[in-house]
Amino acid sequence: MKLLYQSSMAGWKVWAPTLAAAILSTLHGCGAAEADRLIPLDSHLFHSLRRISLPVVSPDQQRALFATSYYDPDANKEYSYISILDIELGNTTQLTPVFEGSDRASNLLWLGPSTAGYLSKGALYQHDLAPHTNGTLLFNATQSINSATYRSSSGLLLFTASTLADGKISSVAKYLNEEKNRTDSAMVYNNLWARHWNKWMGDQKSTLFAINTTREAYGSWNLGREANLMQGLPPTKDQLLRWEVEGYTASEDGEHVAFVVRNPGPDMAWSTNVDIYLTATDGSRIPKLLTGTFKGAASSPTFSTDGSAVAWLQMETPGYESDINRIYVHNITTGNVYSVARTWDLSPQSILWSADNKVLYALTPDRGDRRLFSVEIATGKHQPLTGYGFVSNVARVGSSKLLVVYSNVTESSDIYTIDVGSSVSGLRGPMKRLTSINGDKLGGVYLSEAEDFWFTGALRDQVHGWILRPAGFNATKKYPLALLIHGGPQQASMHAFGLGQWNPNMYASAGYATVIINFHGSSSYGQKFTDSIHQQWGGYPYEDLMKGLDHVISTYSFVDASRMVALGGSYGGYMANWINANTDRFRALVAHDGQFNVVAGYYSTDELWFIEHDLGGVPFTTSGRDKYDKYNPERLADKFKTPTLFIHGANDFRLTLEQSLAPWTLLRRKGIPSRLVYFPDEDHWVNKMGNSMRWYEEVFKWMAQWTSS
């Protein structure tokens, strides 16, 4: 077995904004000869970059497990391995051999002070901390395990597995055997929610189980009988619409578990009623509904360290998937429920208790960054602990430190610690970097920093965007422009290093001045700004994009306004079609899994709540149809004139294939150059690495064709 790397990053302390400024100065302040020595970020290098998982802190708070995965473009294979991180020293040591493909390890956990655990091929494995050794099988249920959590203080093992209506793992094998012998393949549905994202709904649903375990002195395990913790939930009439766990967490003492479920029923396709239940892990009680007051979506349950309370995030508006997340706390002993920081105008995405239970740490989008905030429970006072960049995960380390995964536009994800002192005193020092996962690959590579700008957009609001300068930048030259339009639409582009199709430095390295604009409807700028897109799909966002481009062209003299391309996916793909119907200022467009016919899109999508809320009704009423037609690109099909590359995955049930076939047919029939890239094995995203490389190849070829670059 090959040791991939061992690193020591101890003592390297950085302030993210300071580092960003240093990089910007290096890139744009260095001499031309030095800048020319930086190689572009090409597709082969980009897709070979390593990715890291959420680090899992050991019971003694001194180490953390994390998984690293990577793709070999030449072999077209994916690999992964698990490493141990010494949190104090910053030393990283590879623990396991390299797993190939589907053998990869996931769901890392600690099974004791010196025993790691992970899932592989649907089974739970244990692994002593001796480097370069193989794990041994610990638990293999008759049905594949989807996730697992262990509490060493009580020996509690929680896991999820798919079951039939009887909730028993043992019944599944017989069912699968009967399915093999069926003489037909029909799937029959009486209610909507027949499919979601990329799969058709079947008889099996993810169910939460608990097992009590003990470990002998010589290391062997005794596993008790699994208990279904969802027993006692109200019965459902349609067996295809049953309770299915979407997430869960256990108290540190293993006494309680809180789990997230979508309320099953005939209205599942147009309801956002997602609930959280609390129950005892011994299965002795019927689960208690914590969120019955609300009909919006609940998420991110987390227990206080002493197990006395559980907090969660709650959307209060029914049917609105982008409502602001409010923080709620339930006292398990008294049953009292209260809201925290209710006047805060940002929407946290996940929360974690501090060690002393006085503060909640909240990962929260804020003006194009995803920052870590501390929120005092007693007062609601909140303050950012990080600035520029994107924090993707957070975990406690003892009483005064946090372990986070952080990236920004020029740095891929790495693990850092943050010293927070006492939880209410706030940040006590800079982030300390512990890993450099891609340092060997990205050293000497051109990575443009984001240059932020603000301009007056729709409603005379200030709108945020940024620009990246192209590789080999020369201020005396003119460069084509790539406008990247984010999806959602109630999402936002972030100062992050994404490893998918929309990393802006890929476009900058391809020679484009790359522009991002967080138009009206984007998250992270206050809830009013997010809500403003209601019944305005083609209104305020389009106005922002056009005014933002005008600002860029007038501000940055190196932009060639005659050679511009707009690209977007999902809602961004819708906007590419809307742009095609409303302006000819772009040489070409790229629409990935976008929407062309809003009315037809309603009748074929999997989630009706989203479009019903955003457009203000349903298209089968007169008033509703007018709202759908107002910003429907298909209604303006006669005005389409810009060459467009359409990309779509066959298994996208959010925006079905016809939404790309239709505008492609339109342009081809009108004699306008267009191209269709079809992935029969992809969904709303491009998940397979080989397909992602082909995606970039087709996109850059199309852009170069129309910008003469």
Average pLDDT for 423-428: 56
- Cβ atoms < 10 Å from Cβ of 25: 11
Report H helices in 6-42.
16-29, 32-36
| Residue 4, pLDDT above cutoff 80 | no
- Residue 375: half-sphere exposure toward Cβ, Cα within 13 Å: 29
Poorest-pLDDT segment among 275-284, 415-424, 563-572? 415-424
* Dist CA 582 CA 574 (whole Å): 13
Question: 513-569: per-residue pLDDT in tens?
Answer: 999 999 999 999 999 999 999 999 999 999 999 999 999 999 999 999 999 999 999
The pLDDT, as a whole number, for residue 23 is 40
Q: What is the mean pLDDT of the chain?
A: 93
- Cβ atoms < 10 Å from Cβ of 137: 11
The pLDDT, as a whole number, for residue 429 is 66
User: What is the pLDDT confidence band of residue 133, given thresholds at 50, 70 and 90?
Assistant: confident
User: What is the pLDDT confidence band of residue 426, given thresholds at 50, 70 and 90?
Assistant: low
| Residue 20, pLDDT above cutoff 80 | no
Q: Are strands 369-376 and 359-366 parallel, antiparallel or unpaired?
A: antiparallel
- At residue 66's C-alpha, the angle toward residues 63 and 71, to 5°, is 155
User: What is the pLDDT confidence band of residue 132, given thresholds at 50, 70 and 90?
Assistant: confident
pTM of the model: 0.94
Contacts 24+ apart (CB under 8 A), 622-627: 625/599, 627/535
Average pLDDT for 653-674: 98
Residue type, 58: S
Q: Are strands 479-485 and 63-72 parallel, antiparallel or unpaired?
A: unpaired
* Dist CA 424 CA 383 (whole Å): 10
Cα dihedral 622, 628, 629, 634 sign? negative
Which residue, chain included where needed, has tokens 């897709």?
Answer: 47
Lookup: tokens for 380: 């609601």
The pLDDT, as a whole number, for residue 5 is 29
Question: 198-249: per-residue pLDDT in tens?
Answer: 999 999 999 999 999 998 877 789 999 999 999 999 999 898 999 999 999 9
- Residue 408: half-sphere exposure toward Cβ, Cα within 13 Å: 22
CA distances from 455 to 76, 409, 459, 529, 541 (A): 44, 21, 12, 15, 13
8 Å CB contact between 153 and 134? no
| Residue 34, pLDDT above cutoff 60 | no
702 closest CA partner among 614, 590, 558: 590
* Dist CA 618 CA 561 (whole Å): 39
The pLDDT, as a whole number, for residue 104 is 87
8 Å CB contact between 290 and 330? yes
Average pLDDT for 30-46: 79
Residue type, 248: Y
Poorest-pLDDT segment among 41-45, 430-434, 567-571, 576-580? 430-434
100: part of which helix (H) or strand (E)? strand 99-100
Average pLDDT for 341-356: 98
Residue type, 663: P
Average pLDDT for 281-297: 96
Question: 455-509: per-residue pLDDT in tens?
Answer: 999 999 999 999 999 999 999 999 999 999 999 999 999 999 999 999 999 999 9
Question: 622-648: per-residue pLDDT in tens?
Answer: 999 999 999 999 999 999 999 999 999
* Dist CA 515 CA 559 (whole Å): 10
Average pLDDT for 672-692: 98
The pLDDT, as a whole number, for residue 103 is 82
SS (H, E, C) 463-532: EEEEEECCCCCCCCCCEEEEEEECCCCCCCCCCCCCCCCCCHHHHHHCCCEEEEEECCCCCCCCHHHHHC
